[in-house]
Structure 1
Amino acid sequence: MVNPIKMHRRLLLTGAAGGLGTALRSRLTANCDVLRLSDKSAVSEAGTGEEVVLADLANAAEVDAMVAGCDAIVHLGGISVEAPFEAILQANILGVYHLYEAARKHGVKRVVFASSNHVVGYYKQGETITADHPPRPDSFYGVSKAFGEDFSRFYFDRHGIETACVRIGSSFPEPRDRRMLATWLSFDDLHRLISACLTTPVLGHSIVFGMSDNAVTWWDNSRARHIGYVPQDSSDVFRDAVFARTPAPDLNDPAAIYQGGGFVAADPLKK
Protein backbone atom coordinates (compact mmCIF):
# COMPACT_ATOMS: atom_id res chain seq x y z
CA MET A 1 0.00 0.00 0.00
CA VAL A 2 1.05 3.59 -0.66
CA ASN A 3 0.27 6.31 1.90
CA PRO A 4 1.02 9.56 0.09
CA ILE A 5 1.05 13.02 1.62
CA LYS A 6 -1.84 15.10 0.27
CA MET A 7 -0.06 18.31 -0.72
CA HIS A 8 -2.02 19.48 -3.76
CA ARG A 9 -5.46 20.98 -4.09
CA ARG A 10 -6.00 20.16 -7.77
CA LEU A 11 -3.70 17.68 -9.51
CA LEU A 12 -3.86 17.23 -13.29
CA LEU A 13 -3.38 13.76 -14.76
CA THR A 14 -2.99 13.77 -18.54
CA GLY A 15 -3.30 10.58 -20.55
CA ALA A 16 -5.96 9.48 -18.08
CA ALA A 17 -7.60 7.09 -20.56
CA GLY A 18 -4.36 5.20 -21.26
CA GLY A 19 -3.05 2.10 -19.56
CA LEU A 20 -0.95 3.83 -16.91
CA GLY A 21 -3.47 6.64 -16.51
CA THR A 22 -6.15 4.07 -15.77
CA ALA A 23 -3.89 2.29 -13.27
CA LEU A 24 -3.03 5.55 -11.49
CA ARG A 25 -6.47 7.12 -11.47
CA SER A 26 -7.72 5.51 -8.29
CA ARG A 27 -4.30 5.81 -6.65
CA LEU A 28 -3.71 9.51 -7.29
CA THR A 29 -6.99 10.60 -5.69
CA ALA A 30 -5.11 10.12 -2.40
CA ASN A 31 -2.57 12.79 -3.43
CA CYS A 32 -4.96 15.72 -3.84
CA ASP A 33 -8.35 17.19 -3.06
CA VAL A 34 -9.40 17.16 -6.72
CA LEU A 35 -7.93 14.98 -9.45
CA ARG A 36 -8.47 16.48 -12.90
CA LEU A 37 -8.46 13.79 -15.57
CA SER A 38 -7.65 14.65 -19.15
CA ASP A 39 -7.15 12.84 -22.42
CA LYS A 40 -7.84 13.30 -26.10
CA SER A 41 -10.08 10.25 -25.94
CA ALA A 42 -13.17 9.81 -23.84
CA VAL A 43 -12.55 9.44 -20.12
CA SER A 44 -15.14 7.64 -18.03
CA GLU A 45 -17.44 9.77 -15.90
CA ALA A 46 -15.85 11.66 -13.02
CA GLY A 47 -16.26 10.16 -9.58
CA THR A 48 -16.00 11.70 -6.14
CA GLY A 49 -13.04 14.07 -5.99
CA GLU A 50 -12.55 13.94 -9.76
CA GLU A 51 -13.25 16.16 -12.75
CA VAL A 52 -12.79 15.54 -16.48
CA VAL A 53 -11.44 18.03 -19.03
CA LEU A 54 -10.87 16.64 -22.54
CA ALA A 55 -8.00 18.16 -24.51
CA ASP A 56 -5.89 17.49 -27.58
CA LEU A 57 -2.26 18.20 -26.69
CA ALA A 58 -1.72 19.64 -30.17
CA ASN A 59 -4.35 22.32 -29.46
CA ALA A 60 -2.89 25.18 -27.42
CA ALA A 61 -6.24 26.60 -26.30
CA GLU A 62 -7.50 23.22 -25.10
CA VAL A 63 -4.27 22.57 -23.19
CA ASP A 64 -4.45 26.01 -21.59
CA ALA A 65 -7.96 25.28 -20.32
CA MET A 66 -6.85 21.84 -19.16
CA VAL A 67 -4.06 23.30 -17.00
CA ALA A 68 -5.93 26.32 -15.60
CA GLY A 69 -6.59 26.00 -11.87
CA CYS A 70 -4.16 23.13 -11.26
CA ASP A 71 -1.18 23.36 -8.93
CA ALA A 72 0.77 20.29 -10.16
CA ILE A 73 0.77 18.07 -13.24
CA VAL A 74 1.41 14.39 -13.85
CA HIS A 75 1.94 14.30 -17.60
CA LEU A 76 1.37 10.85 -19.07
CA GLY A 77 -0.37 12.13 -22.20
CA GLY A 78 0.86 11.66 -25.75
CA ILE A 79 1.86 8.72 -27.91
CA SER A 80 3.53 5.98 -25.87
CA VAL A 81 4.80 3.71 -28.67
CA GLU A 82 6.77 4.13 -31.85
CA ALA A 83 4.80 5.90 -34.58
CA PRO A 84 5.34 8.01 -37.71
CA PHE A 85 7.17 11.24 -36.90
CA GLU A 86 4.27 13.49 -37.89
CA ALA A 87 2.09 11.95 -35.19
CA ILE A 88 4.90 12.01 -32.62
CA LEU A 89 5.53 15.67 -33.48
CA GLN A 90 1.97 16.74 -32.72
CA ALA A 91 1.39 14.80 -29.50
CA ASN A 92 4.82 14.50 -27.90
CA ILE A 93 6.75 17.56 -29.07
CA LEU A 94 4.23 20.29 -29.79
CA GLY A 95 2.15 18.92 -26.92
CA VAL A 96 5.03 19.33 -24.46
CA TYR A 97 5.50 22.94 -25.57
CA HIS A 98 1.80 23.65 -25.06
CA LEU A 99 1.82 21.99 -21.65
CA TYR A 100 4.79 23.93 -20.30
CA GLU A 101 3.56 27.21 -21.75
CA ALA A 102 0.22 26.66 -20.01
CA ALA A 103 2.04 25.76 -16.79
CA ARG A 104 4.06 28.97 -17.02
CA LYS A 105 0.99 31.11 -17.66
CA HIS A 106 -1.00 29.56 -14.82
CA GLY A 107 1.80 29.45 -12.26
CA VAL A 108 2.16 25.66 -12.03
CA LYS A 109 5.56 25.00 -10.47
CA ARG A 110 5.85 21.20 -10.41
CA VAL A 111 5.48 18.64 -13.19
CA VAL A 112 6.05 14.90 -13.27
CA PHE A 113 6.88 14.18 -16.90
CA ALA A 114 6.52 10.63 -18.17
CA SER A 115 9.77 10.17 -20.02
CA SER A 116 10.92 6.73 -21.10
CA ASN A 117 13.75 4.22 -20.98
CA HIS A 118 13.74 4.58 -24.77
CA VAL A 119 15.64 7.86 -24.32
CA VAL A 120 18.64 5.59 -23.64
CA GLY A 121 17.56 2.55 -25.63
CA TYR A 122 20.79 2.25 -27.64
CA TYR A 123 22.91 1.49 -24.61
CA LYS A 124 23.66 -2.23 -24.39
CA GLN A 125 22.02 -4.57 -21.92
CA GLY A 126 25.46 -5.40 -20.53
CA GLU A 127 25.96 -1.78 -19.39
CA THR A 128 24.83 0.02 -16.25
CA ILE A 129 24.12 3.70 -16.82
CA THR A 130 23.20 6.71 -14.71
CA ALA A 131 21.10 9.76 -15.47
CA ASP A 132 24.36 11.53 -16.37
CA HIS A 133 24.93 9.36 -19.44
CA PRO A 134 24.08 11.16 -22.71
CA PRO A 135 20.76 10.23 -24.34
CA ARG A 136 20.88 7.52 -27.01
CA PRO A 137 17.25 7.31 -28.17
CA ASP A 138 16.16 4.21 -30.05
CA SER A 139 13.14 5.57 -31.97
CA PHE A 140 11.15 8.65 -32.96
CA TYR A 141 9.32 8.06 -29.70
CA GLY A 142 12.60 8.03 -27.74
CA VAL A 143 13.72 11.20 -29.52
CA SER A 144 10.49 12.93 -28.49
CA LYS A 145 11.06 12.00 -24.86
CA ALA A 146 14.64 13.26 -25.02
CA PHE A 147 13.20 16.52 -26.36
CA GLY A 148 10.77 16.63 -23.43
CA GLU A 149 13.62 16.20 -20.96
CA ASP A 150 15.58 19.05 -22.55
CA PHE A 151 12.51 21.27 -22.89
CA SER A 152 11.56 20.78 -19.25
CA ARG A 153 15.14 21.61 -18.26
CA PHE A 154 14.87 24.87 -20.24
CA TYR A 155 11.60 25.79 -18.49
CA PHE A 156 13.19 25.03 -15.12
CA ASP A 157 16.22 27.20 -15.84
CA ARG A 158 14.18 30.00 -17.44
CA HIS A 159 10.91 29.90 -15.48
CA GLY A 160 11.59 27.86 -12.32
CA ILE A 161 9.14 25.04 -13.12
CA GLU A 162 10.46 21.96 -11.31
CA THR A 163 10.21 18.71 -13.25
CA ALA A 164 10.89 15.06 -12.54
CA CYS A 165 11.58 13.30 -15.84
CA VAL A 166 10.62 9.73 -15.00
CA ARG A 167 12.17 7.31 -17.48
CA ILE A 168 9.49 4.66 -17.11
CA GLY A 169 10.71 1.15 -17.79
CA SER A 170 7.99 -1.46 -18.31
CA SER A 171 4.97 -0.84 -16.10
CA PHE A 172 2.54 -3.75 -16.26
CA PRO A 173 0.89 -6.04 -13.73
CA GLU A 174 3.87 -8.40 -14.15
CA PRO A 175 6.91 -8.77 -16.44
CA ARG A 176 5.99 -10.11 -19.87
CA ASP A 177 9.44 -11.36 -20.92
CA ARG A 178 13.05 -11.69 -19.79
CA ARG A 179 13.93 -8.11 -20.73
CA MET A 180 11.26 -6.84 -18.35
CA LEU A 181 12.95 -8.58 -15.42
CA ALA A 182 15.34 -5.61 -15.60
CA THR A 183 12.90 -2.87 -16.60
CA TRP A 184 9.74 -3.78 -14.68
CA LEU A 185 7.93 -1.16 -12.60
CA SER A 186 4.87 -2.22 -10.63
CA PHE A 187 1.83 0.06 -10.60
CA ASP A 188 2.21 0.58 -6.85
CA ASP A 189 5.89 1.50 -7.23
CA LEU A 190 4.96 3.87 -10.04
CA HIS A 191 2.56 5.56 -7.64
CA ARG A 192 5.25 5.63 -4.93
CA LEU A 193 7.64 7.25 -7.38
CA ILE A 194 5.16 9.88 -8.55
CA SER A 195 4.18 10.61 -4.96
CA ALA A 196 7.82 11.11 -4.03
CA CYS A 197 8.29 13.46 -6.98
CA LEU A 198 5.23 15.48 -5.93
CA THR A 199 6.24 15.81 -2.28
CA THR A 200 10.04 16.01 -2.07
CA PRO A 201 10.93 19.46 -0.69
CA VAL A 202 13.33 20.36 -3.50
CA LEU A 203 12.83 18.61 -6.85
CA GLY A 204 14.72 20.88 -9.21
CA HIS A 205 15.11 19.29 -12.60
CA SER A 206 15.64 15.59 -12.00
CA ILE A 207 15.94 12.52 -14.19
CA VAL A 208 14.73 9.36 -12.47
CA PHE A 209 14.63 5.80 -13.74
CA GLY A 210 11.21 4.26 -13.22
CA MET A 211 11.91 0.75 -12.00
CA SER A 212 11.05 -1.51 -9.12
CA ASP A 213 13.60 -3.13 -6.80
CA ASN A 214 14.73 -5.67 -9.40
CA ALA A 215 17.86 -7.77 -8.84
CA VAL A 216 18.84 -7.34 -12.48
CA THR A 217 18.95 -3.74 -13.63
CA TRP A 218 20.76 -1.59 -16.18
CA TRP A 219 20.11 1.69 -14.38
CA ASP A 220 21.82 3.30 -11.41
CA ASN A 221 19.19 5.50 -9.73
CA SER A 222 21.52 7.03 -7.15
CA ARG A 223 21.28 10.50 -8.75
CA ALA A 224 17.65 10.57 -7.64
CA ARG A 225 18.07 9.84 -3.93
CA HIS A 226 17.01 13.39 -3.06
CA ILE A 227 13.52 12.48 -4.28
CA GLY A 228 13.06 9.84 -1.60
CA TYR A 229 11.70 7.04 -3.79
CA VAL A 230 11.98 3.62 -2.18
CA PRO A 231 10.54 0.82 -4.35
CA GLN A 232 8.76 -1.98 -2.51
CA ASP A 233 8.11 -4.47 -5.31
CA SER A 234 10.45 -6.62 -7.41
CA SER A 235 10.36 -8.59 -10.65
CA ASP A 236 12.29 -11.34 -8.89
CA VAL A 237 9.12 -13.10 -7.73
CA PHE A 238 8.17 -13.62 -11.40
CA ARG A 239 11.61 -14.77 -12.54
CA ASP A 240 11.05 -18.54 -12.59
CA ALA A 241 7.72 -18.24 -14.41
CA VAL A 242 9.18 -15.85 -17.01
CA PHE A 243 12.10 -18.18 -17.70
CA ALA A 244 9.78 -21.17 -17.98
CA ARG A 245 7.53 -19.61 -20.62
CA THR A 246 10.11 -17.75 -22.73
CA PRO A 247 13.03 -18.98 -24.86
CA ALA A 248 16.63 -17.97 -24.29
CA PRO A 249 17.43 -14.74 -26.14
CA ASP A 250 19.24 -14.74 -29.48
CA LEU A 251 22.33 -12.71 -28.62
CA ASN A 252 22.67 -11.64 -32.25
CA ASP A 253 19.22 -10.05 -32.18
CA PRO A 254 19.38 -6.25 -31.67
CA ALA A 255 16.37 -6.56 -29.35
CA ALA A 256 18.53 -8.70 -27.05
CA ILE A 257 21.63 -6.53 -27.43
CA TYR A 258 20.22 -3.09 -26.66
CA GLN A 259 18.27 -1.85 -23.65
CA GLY A 260 15.46 -0.56 -25.87
CA GLY A 261 14.49 -4.08 -26.89
CA GLY A 262 12.17 -4.26 -29.88
CA PHE A 263 12.10 -0.48 -30.26
CA VAL A 264 15.55 -0.54 -31.86
CA ALA A 265 14.11 -2.49 -34.80
CA ALA A 266 10.67 -0.84 -35.04
CA ASP A 267 10.16 0.91 -38.39
CA PRO A 268 7.09 3.17 -38.45
CA LEU A 269 7.73 3.95 -42.12
CA LYS A 270 7.43 0.34 -43.21
CA LYS A 271 4.10 -0.39 -44.89
Structure 2
Amino acid sequence: MKKIVLTGAHGALGSVLRAPLSRMAESLVSTDILDQPKTLMPNETWSVADLGRFDQIAPLMEGAEMVVHFGAVVDEKPFEELLGPNYVGAYNVWEAAYRAGARRVVYASSIHAVGMAETWSGVDTETAHRPDTFYGLAKCFAEDMGRMYWEKRGLEAVCLRIASCTPEPQNARSLGTWLSHRDLVQLVTRSIETPVVGFTIAYGVSANARAPLSNARVGFLGYHPQDNAENYAATLLSRHTPDPTDLAQTRVGGPFAAVPLGESGMDALRAISGPAVKPDGT
Protein backbone atom coordinates (compact mmCIF):
# COMPACT_ATOMS: atom_id res chain seq x y z
CA MET A 1 0.00 0.00 0.00
CA LYS A 2 1.06 3.57 -0.51
CA LYS A 3 -0.34 5.12 2.67
CA ILE A 4 -1.89 4.12 5.99
CA VAL A 5 -3.22 6.65 8.51
CA LEU A 6 -3.12 5.75 12.21
CA THR A 7 -5.06 7.83 14.73
CA GLY A 8 -4.38 7.63 18.45
CA ALA A 9 -0.77 6.84 17.63
CA HIS A 10 0.52 8.00 21.01
CA GLY A 11 -1.87 5.77 22.95
CA ALA A 12 -1.09 2.45 24.63
CA LEU A 13 -2.30 0.43 21.64
CA GLY A 14 -1.44 2.89 18.89
CA SER A 15 2.16 2.83 20.07
CA VAL A 16 2.22 -0.95 19.63
CA LEU A 17 0.88 -0.67 16.07
CA ARG A 18 3.17 2.00 14.65
CA ALA A 19 6.10 -0.26 13.74
CA PRO A 20 4.10 -3.11 12.14
CA LEU A 21 1.89 -0.67 10.22
CA SER A 22 4.95 1.15 8.92
CA ARG A 23 6.07 -2.13 7.32
CA MET A 24 2.78 -2.48 5.44
CA ALA A 25 2.88 0.72 3.40
CA GLU A 26 5.21 3.12 1.67
CA SER A 27 4.22 5.80 4.17
CA LEU A 28 2.56 5.83 7.58
CA VAL A 29 0.88 9.01 8.78
CA SER A 30 0.53 8.87 12.56
CA THR A 31 -1.64 11.39 14.35
CA ASP A 32 -2.56 12.22 17.91
CA ILE A 33 -3.46 15.24 19.99
CA LEU A 34 -0.04 14.83 21.66
CA ASP A 35 3.35 15.80 20.25
CA GLN A 36 5.37 13.20 18.40
CA PRO A 37 7.57 10.72 20.30
CA LYS A 38 11.34 11.02 20.25
CA THR A 39 11.78 8.57 17.39
CA LEU A 40 9.72 7.82 14.29
CA MET A 41 9.79 4.93 11.85
CA PRO A 42 11.84 5.68 8.70
CA ASN A 43 8.69 6.11 6.57
CA GLU A 44 6.50 7.65 9.29
CA THR A 45 5.33 11.24 9.57
CA TRP A 46 3.59 12.70 12.62
CA SER A 47 0.73 15.18 12.69
CA VAL A 48 -0.77 16.76 15.78
CA ALA A 49 -4.52 16.92 15.20
CA ASP A 50 -7.74 17.06 17.18
CA LEU A 51 -10.22 14.35 16.19
CA GLY A 52 -13.06 16.75 16.89
CA ARG A 53 -11.83 19.15 14.18
CA PHE A 54 -12.70 18.04 10.67
CA ASP A 55 -10.41 20.66 9.17
CA GLN A 56 -7.48 19.06 11.00
CA ILE A 57 -8.37 15.45 10.19
CA ALA A 58 -9.38 15.71 6.53
CA PRO A 59 -5.97 16.72 5.10
CA LEU A 60 -4.33 13.69 6.72
CA MET A 61 -6.50 11.31 4.72
CA GLU A 62 -5.44 12.45 1.27
CA GLY A 63 -4.08 9.45 -0.64
CA ALA A 64 -4.75 6.98 2.15
CA GLU A 65 -5.90 3.47 1.31
CA MET A 66 -6.38 2.29 4.90
CA VAL A 67 -7.28 4.22 8.05
CA VAL A 68 -6.61 2.57 11.40
CA HIS A 69 -8.70 4.58 13.84
CA PHE A 70 -7.55 4.03 17.43
CA GLY A 71 -7.92 7.61 18.70
CA ALA A 72 -10.40 8.31 21.50
CA VAL A 73 -10.79 9.12 25.16
CA VAL A 74 -10.38 5.60 26.53
CA ASP A 75 -12.56 5.70 29.65
CA GLU A 76 -16.04 6.50 30.80
CA LYS A 77 -16.60 10.25 31.21
CA PRO A 78 -19.59 12.57 31.26
CA PHE A 79 -21.21 12.57 27.82
CA GLU A 80 -20.13 16.14 27.08
CA GLU A 81 -16.45 15.18 27.49
CA LEU A 82 -16.75 12.27 25.08
CA LEU A 83 -18.86 14.04 22.47
CA GLY A 84 -15.99 15.71 20.60
CA PRO A 85 -13.26 13.04 20.49
CA ASN A 86 -15.35 9.87 20.56
CA TYR A 87 -18.59 10.73 18.74
CA VAL A 88 -17.79 13.67 16.45
CA GLY A 89 -14.25 12.35 16.03
CA ALA A 90 -15.53 9.04 14.65
CA TYR A 91 -17.74 10.88 12.16
CA ASN A 92 -14.84 13.09 11.11
CA VAL A 93 -12.62 10.08 10.45
CA TRP A 94 -15.23 8.20 8.42
CA GLU A 95 -16.33 11.22 6.43
CA ALA A 96 -12.77 12.33 5.72
CA ALA A 97 -11.77 8.79 4.73
CA TYR A 98 -14.75 8.58 2.36
CA ARG A 99 -14.02 11.94 0.74
CA ALA A 100 -10.38 10.95 0.27
CA GLY A 101 -11.32 7.69 -1.47
CA ALA A 102 -9.92 5.39 1.22
CA ARG A 103 -10.85 1.73 0.88
CA ARG A 104 -11.32 0.73 4.52
CA VAL A 105 -11.45 1.91 8.13
CA VAL A 106 -10.15 -0.46 10.81
CA TYR A 107 -11.71 0.80 14.01
CA ALA A 108 -10.86 0.22 17.66
CA SER A 109 -14.33 -0.51 18.92
CA SER A 110 -14.74 -2.07 22.35
CA ILE A 111 -16.31 -4.86 24.34
CA HIS A 112 -18.23 -2.05 26.04
CA ALA A 113 -20.50 -1.85 22.98
CA VAL A 114 -22.04 -5.07 24.39
CA GLY A 115 -20.79 -4.59 27.94
CA MET A 116 -24.09 -5.38 29.66
CA ALA A 117 -24.32 -8.83 28.05
CA GLU A 118 -23.99 -11.67 30.56
CA THR A 119 -20.67 -13.49 30.48
CA TRP A 120 -22.44 -16.84 30.09
CA SER A 121 -24.78 -15.74 27.29
CA GLY A 122 -22.68 -16.82 24.29
CA VAL A 123 -21.65 -13.40 22.99
CA ASP A 124 -20.67 -13.44 19.33
CA THR A 125 -20.40 -10.97 16.47
CA GLU A 126 -24.18 -10.98 15.96
CA THR A 127 -24.93 -9.99 19.57
CA ALA A 128 -27.01 -6.81 19.65
CA HIS A 129 -25.62 -3.62 21.15
CA ARG A 130 -25.89 -3.45 24.95
CA PRO A 131 -23.58 -0.57 25.92
CA ASP A 132 -22.54 -0.26 29.53
CA THR A 133 -21.49 3.41 29.51
CA PHE A 134 -21.46 6.59 27.44
CA TYR A 135 -18.05 5.33 26.30
CA GLY A 136 -19.63 2.07 25.10
CA LEU A 137 -22.46 4.00 23.48
CA ALA A 138 -19.91 5.90 21.40
CA LYS A 139 -18.62 2.56 20.10
CA CYS A 140 -22.18 1.58 19.14
CA PHE A 141 -22.56 4.88 17.29
CA ALA A 142 -19.33 4.36 15.36
CA GLU A 143 -20.15 0.75 14.50
CA ASP A 144 -23.58 1.72 13.18
CA MET A 145 -22.04 4.57 11.23
CA GLY A 146 -19.46 2.18 9.80
CA ARG A 147 -22.20 -0.16 8.63
CA MET A 148 -24.10 2.76 7.10
CA TYR A 149 -21.03 4.08 5.25
CA TRP A 150 -20.47 0.58 3.83
CA GLU A 151 -24.08 0.07 2.77
CA LYS A 152 -24.63 3.61 1.45
CA ARG A 153 -21.17 4.64 0.27
CA GLY A 154 -19.10 1.48 -0.19
CA LEU A 155 -16.46 2.33 2.43
CA GLU A 156 -15.44 -0.94 4.09
CA ALA A 157 -14.96 -1.24 7.84
CA VAL A 158 -13.66 -3.75 10.36
CA CYS A 159 -14.78 -2.87 13.89
CA LEU A 160 -12.62 -4.60 16.49
CA ARG A 161 -14.39 -5.00 19.83
CA ILE A 162 -11.25 -4.96 21.92
CA ALA A 163 -11.63 -6.49 25.36
CA SER A 164 -8.59 -6.28 27.71
CA CYS A 165 -5.44 -5.46 25.75
CA THR A 166 -2.43 -5.36 28.07
CA PRO A 167 1.06 -6.90 28.05
CA GLU A 168 -0.15 -9.53 30.58
CA PRO A 169 -3.58 -10.36 32.05
CA GLN A 170 -4.32 -8.14 35.04
CA ASN A 171 -7.21 -9.78 36.92
CA ALA A 172 -9.53 -12.80 36.99
CA ARG A 173 -11.87 -11.23 34.42
CA SER A 174 -9.04 -11.02 31.92
CA LEU A 175 -8.68 -14.81 31.94
CA GLY A 176 -11.50 -14.57 29.39
CA THR A 177 -11.05 -11.09 27.91
CA TRP A 178 -7.27 -10.71 27.52
CA LEU A 179 -5.82 -9.64 24.16
CA SER A 180 -2.04 -9.84 24.00
CA HIS A 181 -0.06 -7.26 22.10
CA ARG A 182 1.14 -9.96 19.72
CA ASP A 183 -2.43 -10.97 18.94
CA LEU A 184 -3.50 -7.33 18.61
CA VAL A 185 -0.91 -6.82 15.86
CA GLN A 186 -2.07 -9.98 14.08
CA LEU A 187 -5.73 -8.95 14.30
CA VAL A 188 -5.12 -5.49 12.87
CA THR A 189 -2.83 -6.90 10.19
CA ARG A 190 -5.47 -9.44 9.11
CA SER A 191 -8.11 -6.68 9.08
CA ILE A 192 -5.97 -4.77 6.59
CA GLU A 193 -4.77 -7.69 4.45
CA THR A 194 -8.08 -9.53 3.98
CA PRO A 195 -9.12 -8.79 0.38
CA VAL A 196 -12.80 -8.04 1.01
CA VAL A 197 -14.48 -7.41 4.38
CA GLY A 198 -17.59 -5.33 3.65
CA PHE A 199 -18.70 -4.42 7.16
CA THR A 200 -17.25 -6.77 9.76
CA ILE A 201 -17.25 -6.96 13.53
CA ALA A 202 -14.58 -9.04 15.30
CA TYR A 203 -13.61 -9.45 18.93
CA GLY A 204 -10.17 -8.41 20.07
CA VAL A 205 -9.46 -11.38 22.31
CA SER A 206 -6.66 -13.93 22.49
CA ALA A 207 -7.07 -17.74 22.42
CA ASN A 208 -8.19 -17.80 26.03
CA ALA A 209 -9.61 -21.09 27.33
CA ARG A 210 -12.30 -19.11 29.22
CA ALA A 211 -13.17 -16.57 26.51
CA PRO A 212 -16.85 -15.50 26.70
CA LEU A 213 -16.62 -14.06 23.16
CA SER A 214 -16.72 -15.86 19.83
CA ASN A 215 -15.23 -14.97 16.44
CA ALA A 216 -16.60 -18.14 14.83
CA ARG A 217 -18.57 -16.14 12.24
CA VAL A 218 -15.57 -14.17 10.98
CA GLY A 219 -13.07 -16.89 10.20
CA PHE A 220 -12.53 -15.31 6.77
CA LEU A 221 -10.27 -12.74 8.47
CA GLY A 222 -7.72 -15.49 9.09
CA TYR A 223 -7.16 -14.38 12.67
CA HIS A 224 -5.60 -17.18 14.72
CA PRO A 225 -4.55 -15.84 18.14
CA GLN A 226 -1.44 -17.32 19.71
CA ASP A 227 -1.70 -16.47 23.40
CA ASN A 228 -3.83 -17.88 26.23
CA ALA A 229 -4.46 -16.15 29.55
CA GLU A 230 -4.85 -19.54 31.23
CA ASN A 231 -1.09 -19.55 31.73
CA TYR A 232 -1.63 -16.84 34.35
CA ALA A 233 -4.64 -18.44 36.04
CA ALA A 234 -3.18 -19.67 39.33
CA THR A 235 -2.26 -16.28 40.73
CA LEU A 236 -5.14 -14.37 39.18
CA LEU A 237 -7.73 -16.73 40.66
CA SER A 238 -6.08 -16.55 44.06
CA ARG A 239 -6.89 -12.82 44.10
CA HIS A 240 -10.51 -13.32 43.08
CA THR A 241 -13.52 -13.60 45.39
CA PRO A 242 -16.60 -14.54 43.34
CA ASP A 243 -19.73 -12.45 43.88
CA PRO A 244 -22.65 -13.46 41.63
CA THR A 245 -24.45 -10.18 42.38
CA ASP A 246 -21.58 -7.98 41.14
CA LEU A 247 -22.12 -6.73 37.59
CA ALA A 248 -18.36 -6.26 37.28
CA GLN A 249 -18.02 -10.05 37.47
CA THR A 250 -21.13 -11.19 35.61
CA ARG A 251 -21.18 -8.89 32.56
CA VAL A 252 -18.63 -8.89 29.75
CA GLY A 253 -17.97 -5.19 30.30
CA GLY A 254 -16.50 -5.90 33.73
CA PRO A 255 -16.22 -2.88 36.05
CA PHE A 256 -17.57 -0.58 33.32
CA ALA A 257 -20.89 -2.42 33.70
CA ALA A 258 -21.03 -1.58 37.40
CA VAL A 259 -19.95 2.09 37.53
CA PRO A 260 -22.53 4.89 37.39
CA LEU A 261 -22.82 6.61 34.02
CA GLY A 262 -20.18 9.29 33.61
CA GLU A 263 -17.80 7.86 36.24
CA SER A 264 -14.44 6.31 35.43
CA GLY A 265 -14.42 2.64 34.59
CA MET A 266 -10.63 2.56 34.44
CA ASP A 267 -10.39 3.55 38.11
CA ALA A 268 -12.66 0.64 38.98
CA LEU A 269 -10.63 -1.68 36.77
CA ARG A 270 -7.36 -0.66 38.39
CA ALA A 271 -8.88 -1.31 41.82
CA ILE A 272 -9.34 -5.02 41.01
CA SER A 273 -5.97 -5.48 39.29
CA GLY A 274 -2.92 -6.41 41.28
CA PRO A 275 0.80 -6.50 40.41
CA ALA A 276 1.93 -7.91 37.10
CA VAL A 277 1.71 -11.70 36.87
CA LYS A 278 4.25 -13.96 35.22
CA PRO A 279 3.12 -16.80 32.95
CA ASP A 280 4.10 -19.39 35.58
CA GLY A 281 1.60 -17.84 37.97
CA THR A 282 4.00 -15.88 40.19
TM-score, structure 1 normalization: 0.93
2 CA distance for matches of 1:203 and 1:151? 16
- Write out per-residue CA displacement over residues 203-231 of structure 1, whole angstroms, 9 at most, x where no aligned residue: 11000011110000111211111111111
Count the aligned residue pairs: 263
1 CA distance for matches of 2:192 and 2:207? 20
**Structure 1 portions without partners, runs of 5+:** 1-7
Output aligned runs, 1:125-136, within 5 Å: 125-136=119-130
1:29 aligns to 2:31 (yes or no): no
2 CA distance for matches of 1:238 and 1:82? 28
Q: Contact 1:12/1:70 (CA < 8 Å) preserved in 2?
A: yes
173, 176, 182: which one aligns with 2:170: 176
1:225 aligns to 2:219 (yes or no): yes
What one-letter code is carried by the residue in structure 2 that aligns with 1:9? K
1:153 aligns to 2:147 (yes or no): yes
RMSD (Å), alpha carbons? 1.4
2 CA distance for matches of 1:114 and 1:30? 20
1 CA distance for matches of 2:59 and 2:247? 43
- Write out per-residue CA displacement over residues 232-253 of structure 1, whole angstroms, 9 at most, x where no aligned residue: 1111211123223x12222221
Output aligned runs, 1:188-267, within 5 Å: 188-244=182-238, 246-267=239-260
What one-letter code is carried by the residue in structure 2 that aligns with 1:62? Q
1:166 aligns to 2:163 (yes or no): no
Structure 1 residues 101 and 270: CA distance shift in structure 2, 3 A: closer
Identity %: 36
30, 37, 44: which one aligns with 2:37: 44
Aligned to 2:12: 19
2 CA distance for matches of 1:203 and 1:52? 28
1 CA distance for matches of 2:126 and 2:263? 34
95, 104, 107: which one aligns with 1:110: 104
Q: Contact 1:182/1:218 (CA < 8 Å) preserved in 2?
A: yes
Task: Report SS of the residue matched to 1:141.
Answer: helix
Cα deviation for residue 72 of structure 1 reads 0.6
Q: Quick check: 124-133 or 15-24, which moved more?
A: 124-133
**Structure 2 portions without partners, runs of 5+:** 265-282
Q: Contact 2:77/2:263 (CA < 8 Å) preserved in 1?
A: no
57, 62, 67: which one aligns with 1:63: 57
Task: Report SS of the residue matched to 2:118.
Answer: coil
TM-score, structure 2 normalization: 0.90
What one-letter code is carried by the residue in structure 2 that aligns with 1:136? R
What one-letter code is carried by the residue in structure 2 that aligns with 1:193? L
